[in-house]
Amino acid sequence: MSLNRDQSSRLYSEAQQYFPGGVNSPVRAFKSVYGSPLFIRNGHGAMIYDEDGNQFVDFCGSWGPLILGHNHPVIKDEVIRTIENGLSFGAPTVHGNALGKIIVDNHRFIDKLRFVSSGTEAVMSAIRLARGYTGKNKIIKFEGCYHGHVDSLLVKAGSGLATFGVSTSLGIPKGFIDETIVLQLNDLARFEEVLASSSDSIACVILEPIPANNGLLLQDNNYLAWLRLLCDQYGVLLIFDEVISGFRVGFEGASGYYNIQPDLITMGKIIGGGMPVGAFGGKAEIMKKISPEGDVYQAGTLSANPVAMTAGLACLNICLQPDFYQDQEKRTKTFVRKIESHIDAQGYDMHIPQIGSIFWLAFGKKRIVTPDDINSDSMGLFKELHRYLLDHGVYLGPSGYEVGFVSMSHTPQLLERSAEIICNALDHIFKR
Ligand SMILES: *Cc1c(COP(=O)(O)O)cnc(C)c1O
């Protein structure tokens, strides 16, 4: 049984006339899997429905924001109520205060924050702040961490021992790239060497404490704690990019999960409950450098607009309910264990890294900590897996490097059924 994609195919051809590659964000184009993108008409709870009337259990969750599932009634009602009063004023509102308060009151490591409208904007602003605060220019990033489409972060490691990277996009001046040092995750010796030789010129280190944009590259708590220690020792700021992990593995994100205090934290995705919201925040002493209090400029026409703030507040209020995160983790673990026991019983060459409600279907048995550990040859298998799953009503992100997300709306029954379908899909791809 193969999916009827007539409407989606027609709409995708139409979209090609308007948008480069027919999309407004590249991974949506289904370049790494079979077929063309599905046009989604609506979503409800854990389910999405496309323009051909197909339905899917959604494990993509709009790439992370939808920790409550689609169209959660509380978010919907609150947003509609706020909309009655207008969409944006470019002036302070009670809604911004309310979302600010709930975050500052419930996050040990955020004294002050500023709202923006995307994760990319949060990262870009946090880096400017780190540079403004320290008076230094260079930044360290890690191979395998994604931080949005910020110019100076679209960089990968150069070949051999070259310290400076090469850009991963056209249009980025070499001068920007020269300010970025790219290192490997989980290599503390090299990290210390670079700080020891160059900390005079390094403003900050940025990483995803739970790297989840290039597979799920779970790091050791000790490694992260050492990064913190060395940054302090050498006078370099530590930025945790928690656009994915924030409010996902706990209300305090990875910082709380590992109990490590970064100097600045960037947030996005869940913080807006499905609306465009990002934020950066952290130590008061650093945040006070942001204009108008300080001289690091940062602004936004639609920043903290009341509708987006309302969606974020409704979402985070539910996240704060007792046992919310324990329950998320429990359901996700049961789901992952069911698939893993099938993998083990059948001897398939795979495993499933998982943390909180994030999971990743990883090919190979070896623990994966850096991008080098990923077997890129296996992505052909992922393509087959993806096709089978779409045909059988399970929607994963359209690339083997994307993680899956479980939401509050994924009931144990739905997860059990989805796990069965995934097990069947594995039988299909490994026994073909
Ligand atoms: C998604 C993501 C970003 C970019 O956020 P956008 O809202 O897409 O600009 C930055 N950093 C991390 C860790 C992300 O997962």
Q: What is the pLDDT, as a whole number, of residue 158?
A: 73
> Could you read off the pLDDT of 213-258 as tens digits, one per residue?
999 999 999 999 999 999 999 999 999 999 999 999 999 999 999 9
Answer yes or no: is pLDDT of 160 > 60: no
- Here the tokens at position 192 are 């210390």
Q: How far is the CA of 60 from the centre of ligand 1 (A)?
A: 14
Do residues 194 and 140 lie in contact, with contact meaning Cβ atoms separated by under 8 Å? yes
Q: If you take atom 6 of ligand 1, which residue's CA is the nearest one? A: 119
Do residues 141 and 207 lie in contact, with contact meaning Cβ atoms separated by under 8 Å? yes
- Here the tokens at position 283 are 């130590």
Say what the alpha-carbon torsion angle 387, 390, 396, 402 is, to the nearest 10 degrees: 20
Q: 3-state class of 281 per DSSP?
A: strand
Do residues 93 and 101 lie in contact, with contact meaning Cβ atoms separated by under 8 Å? no
Q: What is the pLDDT, as a whole number, of residue 423?
A: 98
Mean pLDDT of all residues in 356-374: 97
> Could you read off the pLDDT of 316-345 as tens digits, one per residue?
999 999 999 999 999 999 999 999 999 999
Q: What is the pLDDT, as a whole number, of residue 195?
A: 98
Diameter over CA atoms, the chain? 63
Closest atom, ligand 1, to C-alpha of 25 = 8
Burial status of residue 223 (CB atoms within 10 A of its CB: 0-12, 13-18, 19 or more):
middle
Domains of the chain, each with CATH number or no CATH: 6-71+322-430 (3.90.1150.10), 73-319 (3.40.640.10)
Q: If you take atom 5 of ligand 1, which residue's CA is the nearest one? A: 119
Q: What is the pLDDT, as a whole number, of residue 164?
A: 66
Q: What is the pLDDT, as a whole number, of residue 427?
A: 98
Q: State in Å, rounded, how far the first CA of the chain is from the last one.
A: 16
Q: How far apart are CA 193 and CA 214, in angstroms?
A: 26
Closest atom, ligand 1, to C-alpha of 120 = 9
Report which secondary-structure segment, H or E, holds 428.
helix 412-430
Q: Determine if ligand 1 sits within 6 Å of the CB of residue 405.
A: no
Provide the phi-psi class of 90: left if phi over 0, else alpha when psi is between -120 and 50, else beta: left
Q: How many residues does the chain have?
A: 432
Q: What is the pLDDT, as a whole number, of residue 159?
A: 66
Q: What is the pLDDT, as a whole number, of residue 163?
A: 58
Do residues 115 and 267 lie in contact, with contact meaning Cβ atoms separated by under 8 Å? no
CA 266 to the chain's CA centroid: 11
Mean residue pLDDT across the chain? 96
Q: Determine if ligand 1 sits within 6 Å of the CB of residue 213.
A: yes
Q: For residue 269, indicate whether it is catalytic.
A: yes
> Which residues are within 8 A (CB) of 151 and not within 5 positions of it... i.e. 6 or more apart?
172, 173, 176
- Here the tokens at position 426 are 């594995």
Q: How far is the CA of 117 from the centre of ligand 1 (A)?
A: 11
C-alpha torsion sign, points 134, 139, 144, 149? positive
> Could you read off the pLDDT of 58-112 as tens digits, one per residue?
999 999 999 999 999 999 999 999 999 999 999 999 999 999 999 999 999 999 9
Q: How far apart are CA 407 and CA 66, in angstroms?
A: 7
Report which secondary-structure segment, H or E, holds 239.
strand 237-241
Mean pLDDT of all residues in 390-408: 97
Which residues does residue 374 pair with via DSSP β-bridges, in sequence order?
none
* Exposure on the CB side of residue 138, measured as CA atoms within 13 A: 19
Answer yes or no: is pLDDT of 117 > 60: yes
Q: Determine if ligand 1 sits within 6 Å of the CB of residue 122.
A: no
Helices (H), 181-271: 188-198, 221-234, 253-258
Q: 3-state class of 92 per DSSP?
A: coil
pLDDT-based confidence at residue 157 (cuts at 50, 70, 90): confident
Q: How far apart are CA 173 and CA 159, in angstroms?
A: 19
pTM metric for this prediction: 0.97
Q: What is the pLDDT, as a whole number, of residue 329?
A: 98
pLDDT-based confidence at residue 1 (cuts at 50, 70, 90): low
- Closest by alpha carbon to 299, among 135, 59, 128? 128
Answer yes or no: is pLDDT of 162 > 60: no
Mean pLDDT of all residues in 145-170: 83
> Could you read off the pLDDT of 246-305 as tens digits, one per residue?
999 999 999 999 999 999 999 999 999 999 999 999 999 999 999 999 999 999 999 999
**Active-site choice (136, 138, 269, 283):** 269
> Could you read off the pLDDT of 4-45 as tens digits, one per residue?
999 999 999 999 999 999 999 999 999 999 999 999 999 999
Q: Which residues of 174-183 are buried (b: 16+ CB within 10 A; e: fewer)?
A: eeebebbbbb
In the chain, the percentage of residues whose pLDDT exceeds 90 is 95
- Here the tokens at position 20 are 């480069």
Closest atom, ligand 1, to C-alpha of 244 = 15
Beta-sheet pairing, 362-363 with 350-351: antiparallel
In the chain, the percentage of residues whose pLDDT exceeds 70 is 98
Report which secondary-structure segment, H or E, holds 325.
helix 324-346
Q: Determine if ligand 1 sits within 6 Å of the CB of residue 165.
A: no
Q: What is the pLDDT, as a whole number, of residue 65?
A: 98
pLDDT-based confidence at residue 431 (cuts at 50, 70, 90): confident
